[in-house]
Each structure stands twice: as structure tokens, then as C-alpha cells.
């Protein structure tokens, strides 16, 4: 078999390549490197040794070190956790040495059909949101939302749904602490999100986090109502009152119409979950092409998951528009390393078992593939978790790598559409923002066709190049922003995936 048909070498000089198919033991591969015999079965997406590596020698993929050999590696060996480890990490940080400002293609500017809110922001969906101030009001909020599932909304075709945003905090907290401020920012971001056309805010009454801390007059909603359980006669009375209030909102929200809005008003959130050996080869770089297109048109794109850029941060600092931006990213990484130590771990606790089953070995390898989502555009800003994202350009948000928490922060920041790449089959939704699922390989798409929007495995199959696929993703982003439903929306996913990052003291 020809080596080029079975193994993809991502950069000249890489000691490893990626298996494009399952390679049984004894398979002989012929190419410019000579004949290589596969020593043991190597699954698709896993790494194949293309050169000798002695113990302690660096191993490269993407032209970057992904770890050190922990045992001697010979050509044809399977390279994974049994013979590759983190080793000593050394990075040379430069600032602004690789800045690129993508140019917009010639021709008419793209538009999407969105909702223009009274405060000037652009929405891509038309939801009624029930926002809770405290966990004590969570069940009440869910009971209210449950009354508006199914045929009850058939008479209001322009209403995308009624959803409750519940969480596990809001009391027993130290107001003004880091943890409290993170929750306030998150709730403020959702309460002011342009995809919510109307709001009902439900509290208990005696909680630490009173609604005025996250709700002000700058909301996008056409109607805002507040409900306090202790003042409304208890849970049953509050549910009845909430249902009545939302019933009055429905005609108002249904009367809102989509209109053409320039592409520059899109805020694209990007996340990956259940990554595999193809993530950094297909879906992530293709999404990077789409991200660059959006930035070129004056839009905003948000990269996140700080623990999952660890080891690749030097590539981002080179793209920073100033030393201050690059140093901000490095400070957040230093915080994360200390945070992991306090919890008895390290940032190389990631990759997960599923990532490793898909061929990823170290966090360095995973991170190098993850940052491909950001394309090539210069890095304009670094913002805290759930902080408002102001465009244009590529922005980095400091979030955990845990998908629901990360995406919650991105949406709180203002993302009105999300692209989520997965190689193992993550099933996350993130209402009120639509989530476009990008599968990294064709086997996944065939196995879970009702959970993946776009099959990026066509890059490996030879049916489409990265630039063409990136253009197709960009076109799907515009279609989705204009109302095309995603597979996660068809299943009404996203309510349970609202998971604010919990930090700080609980008293």
C-alpha cells in the first residue's frame, strides 16, 4: 500500500503521521521514506511512527512538539500513551510577529435574516427566557416552561420556544467574590442576550443574589416581568402567575419579524468536545477558514477553553495585536496551572479517555489541533469568562474545557450562533444560540447522522478541500442565523446544558 494513501504527515520533519484507515499489523507501506512495516494494529486516527525516536527525544506533529518518547520508537510503531508522554515543556513567546488581517472576498457583502432588537443588537432566534436568580426557584421555572412545550406554541410560529435557565447557585455565596461575579456576569449576559425576545425572571425572595444585580434597562427584550415565589403565594401560585405572564408575551414575540442584517453583526462562538485524531485535520481547521471569513467581513469570532490551548499558546501570542493581549492570555494560563495544582492535578489530566481512544495522547497534541478553530486572524482581545464580547475580530474567552460550562460562558458573552466540532460524538446544545455540529470523520457521521449537521470527514475522504469546506460552513452559519434549524434545536437541546462556572467559597 502507498504510504500517502494510508498515513497523513502534517508537516515535513514530523516523526509521526496520522492513520487514515485502520492499519493491521504487518501492513507494508511504501513511499519516499522507504518501506515501513506496521508493527501492531493501529486504529484510524491514531499516530504512526515515521522515524526512529530514542527515549527522551521530542516527537513532532503539525511541525510542533507534542511530547517526548518514553520508550524507543521505530518506524511503523503505534505511537500513543504507552510510548509518548508530556516531557519537559518549553515555549518561546513572541508577541505580534504573525499578525494577519484576513481580507474580505470581492463581491456583495453577505447578510442574514435576523431580529433587530430595540437596543440595536442582532438576534438569530426569538425565544422567551425564564431566568432564575437562585437554585431555589429552579423547579418553579421549569414547571412554567413545561407548560409551553409541544402544540401549545403552534399558534405562534415566530416564537422559537420558552426555555428555563436554571443553575445550582445564587445563595450561600460571598457577594463580591470571584465566584459571585462570574455568576452575575453569566446571568447578566443571558438576560441581555439578543436571542431572548422576552424575559420572565423568577426568584425566591430571600436569596443573596437579588435580580437587580444582573438585570437592568439595557435588555434586548420587548417585555420583562419579575416573579418572586415568596410574594406570589408559593410554588403553585407562582406557576399559575408565570404561565399567565408568558401567555401575554407570546403575541408580542410572535409579531416580531426577521429582516436583513449585515454579516458583521454575527458573533460566532467556537468550541470542540469529544475530540479525536482528525479534529485538528478536518473540522477544526475548516472552522478556522469560516472564522477568518467572518472576521474579514467585520464580524466577531470567539475561541475559548483555556486548558485546551495549553502548549499551543505560543501560536496565539504571535498573533496578538499587542504584547498586552498576549500577556493577558499567559496570565490566564498561569492561573489555570495553579488552579489545577490546588485540585491535585495538572493540565495534562486532559485529554479525556474518549480523546485517547480517538488517537490523542497529550494535551499538547490536543491543543495544537484545538487552536486551528481560530484560523489565521490576529488575536484582538482576551476577555474573562462570560464577559461581554465586543467586536470586531478574533477574541479569546477564558473558560474551562468542560463543554457545557465553556459554551455557557461564550453564549453569555453574546455569541448569537455557535459551531461545535466533535470527533467522538458530543451531543451538546446551547439554546438560545443555535449550535452547528461539525463531525470530524465520516464514520461518526454515519453512526450518528441525526446528531451531526456537517460531515467534515469529506476532507479525509477526498471529496472536499479545507477552503471549500470552510466556505460551506460559513454559508451554513448564515443559513442558521437566518432561521435554519440545527439538529440540536430539533431535539430542543440546550436548557440542561446551561451550566455557569462555579467558583469560590460556599457558605
Strands 16-19 vs 47-49: parallel, antiparallel or unpaired: antiparallel
Distance of CA 75 to the CA centre of its chain: 36
Model confidence at 473, pLDDT cuts 50, 70, 90, reads very high
Confidence category of residue 403, pLDDT binned at 50, 70, 90: very high
pLDDT at 127: 98
pLDDT at 217 over 90: no
Residue 352 confidence class, pLDDT cut points 50, 70, 90? confident
Buried b (16+ CB within 10 A) or exposed e, 396-416: bbbbbbbbbbbbbbbbbbbbb
pLDDT at 350 over 80: no
Query: Could you give the strand order of the β-sheet that contains 58-61, starting from the edge strand earlier in sequence?
Result: 58-61, 64-69, 84-85
In the chain, % of residues over pLDDT 70 = 100
The model's confidence at residue 37, banded by pLDDT at 50, 70 and 90, is very high
pLDDT tens digit sequence for 409-444: 999 999 999 999 999 999 999 999 999 999 999 999
Give the whole-angstrom CA distance, residue 52 versus residue 224.
66
Whether 90 shows a pLDDT value over 80: the answer reads: no
The average confidence (pLDDT) of the chain is 95
Bridging pattern class, strands 223-228 and 196-203: parallel
pLDDT band for position 87 (cuts 50, 70, 90): confident
Is the Cβ–Cβ distance between 197 and 115 less than 8 Å?
yes
| pLDDT value for 257 | 97
Q: What is the pLDDT of residue 463?
A: 84
pLDDT at 167 over 90: yes
Whole-model pTM: value is 0.96
How do the residues of the chain divide into helix, strand and coil, expressed in percent and rounded to 5? 35, 20, 45
Least confident among 149-153, 199-203, 328-332, 395-399 = 149-153
- CA angle 381/420/414 to nearest 5° reads 45
64-78, 142-156, 211-225, 474-488 — which is least confidently predicted?
211-225
Confidence of residue 507 (pLDDT cuts 50, 70, 90): confident
pLDDT confidence of residue 88: 79
- Per-residue confidence at 447, pLDDT binned at 50, 70, 90? very high
Q: How many other C-beta atoms can be found within 10 angstroms of the C-beta atom of residue 496? A: 13
Give the confidence band of 150 by pLDDT, cuts at 50, 70, 90.
confident
**Average pLDDT score over residue span 277-286:** 97
Amino acid at each position: 500500500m502507498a504510504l500517502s494513501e494510508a498515513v497523513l504527515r502534517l508537516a515535513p520533519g514530523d516523526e509521526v503521521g496520522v492513520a487514515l484507515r485502520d492499519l493491521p499489523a504487518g501492513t507494508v507501506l511504501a513511499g519516499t521514506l522507504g518501506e515501513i512495516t506496521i508493527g501492531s494494529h493501529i486504529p484510524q486516527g491514531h499516530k504512526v511512527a515515521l522515524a526512529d525516536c530514542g527515549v527522551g527525544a521530542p516527537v513532532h506533529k503539525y511541525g510542533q512538539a507534542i511530547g517526548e518518547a518514553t520508550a524507543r520508537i521505530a518506524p511503523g510503531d503505534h505511537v500513543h500513551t504507552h510510548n509518548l508522554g508530556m516531557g519537559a515543556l518549553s515555549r518561546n513567546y513572541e508577541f505580534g510577529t504573525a499578525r494577519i488581517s484576513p481580507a474580505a472576498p470581492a463581491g456583495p457583502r453577505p447578510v442574514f435574516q435576523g431580529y433587530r432588537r430595540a437596543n440595536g443588537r442582532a438576534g438569530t432566534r426569538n425565544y422567551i427566557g425564564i431566568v432564575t436568580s437562585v437554585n431555589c426557584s429552579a423547579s418553579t421555572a421549569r414547571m412554567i416552561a413545561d407548560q409551553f412545550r409541544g402544540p401549545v406554541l403552534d399558534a405562534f410560529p415566530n416564537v422559537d420556544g420558552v426555555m428555563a435557565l436554571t443553575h445550582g447557585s445564587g445563595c450561600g455565596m460571598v457577594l463580591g467574590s470571584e465566584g459571585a461575579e462570574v455568576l452575575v456576569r453569566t446571568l447578566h449576559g443571558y438576560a441581555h442576550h439578543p436571542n431572548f425576545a422576552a424575559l420572565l425572571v423568577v426568584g425566591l425572595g430571600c436569596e443573596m443574589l437579588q435580580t437587580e444585580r444582573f438585570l437592568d434597562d439595557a435588555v434586548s427584550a420587548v417585555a420583562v416581568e419579575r416573579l418572586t415565589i415568596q410574594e406570589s403565594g408559593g410554588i403553585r401560585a407562582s406557576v399559575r402567575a408565570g404561565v399567565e405572564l408568558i401567555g401575554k408575551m407570546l403575541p408580542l414575540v410572535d409579531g416580531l419579524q426577521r429582516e436583513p442584517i449585515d454579516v458583521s453583526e454575527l458573533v460566532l462562538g467556537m468550541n470542540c468536545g469529544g475530540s479525536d485524531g482528525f479534529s485538528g485535520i478536518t473540522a477544526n481547521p475548516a472552522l478556522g477558514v469560516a472564522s477568518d471569513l467572518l472576521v474579514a467581513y467585520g464580524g466577531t469570532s470567539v475561541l475559548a477553553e483555556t486548558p485546551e490551548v495549553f502548549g499551543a499558546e505560543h501560536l496565539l501570542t504571535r498573533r496578538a495585536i499587542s504584547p498586552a493581549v498576549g500577556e493577558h492570555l499567559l496570565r490566564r494560563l498561569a492561573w489555570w496551572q495553579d488552579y489545577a495544582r490546588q485540585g491535585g492535578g495538572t493540565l495534562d489530566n486532559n485529554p479525556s479517555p474518549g480523546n485517547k481512544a480517538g488517537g490523542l495522547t497529550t494535551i499538547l497534541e490536543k491543543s495544537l489541533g484545538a487552536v486551528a478553530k481560530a484560523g489565521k486572524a490576529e488575536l484582538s482581545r482576551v476577555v474573562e469568562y462570560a464577559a461581554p464580547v465586543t467586536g470586531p475580530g478574533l477574541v479569546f474567552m477564558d473558560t474551562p474545557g468542560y463543554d457545557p460550562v465553556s459554551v455557557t460562558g461564550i453564549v453569555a458573552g453574546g455569541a448569537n450562533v455557535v459551531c461545535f466540532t466533535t470527533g467522538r460524538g458530543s451531543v451538546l446544545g446551547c439554546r438560545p444560540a443555535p449550535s452547528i455540529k461539525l463531525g470530524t470523520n465520516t464514520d461518526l457521521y454515519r453512526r450518528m447522522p441525526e446528531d451531526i449537521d456537517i460531515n467534515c470527514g469529506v476532507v479525509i475522504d477526498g471529496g472536499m478541500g479545507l477552503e471549500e469546506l470552510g466556505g460551506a460552513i460559513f454559508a451554513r452559519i448564515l443559513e442558521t442565523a437566518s432561521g435554519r434549524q440545527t439538529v440540536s434545536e430539533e431535539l430542543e437541546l440546550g436548557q440542561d446544558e446551561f451550566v455557569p462556572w462555579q467558583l469560590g467559597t460556599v457558605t
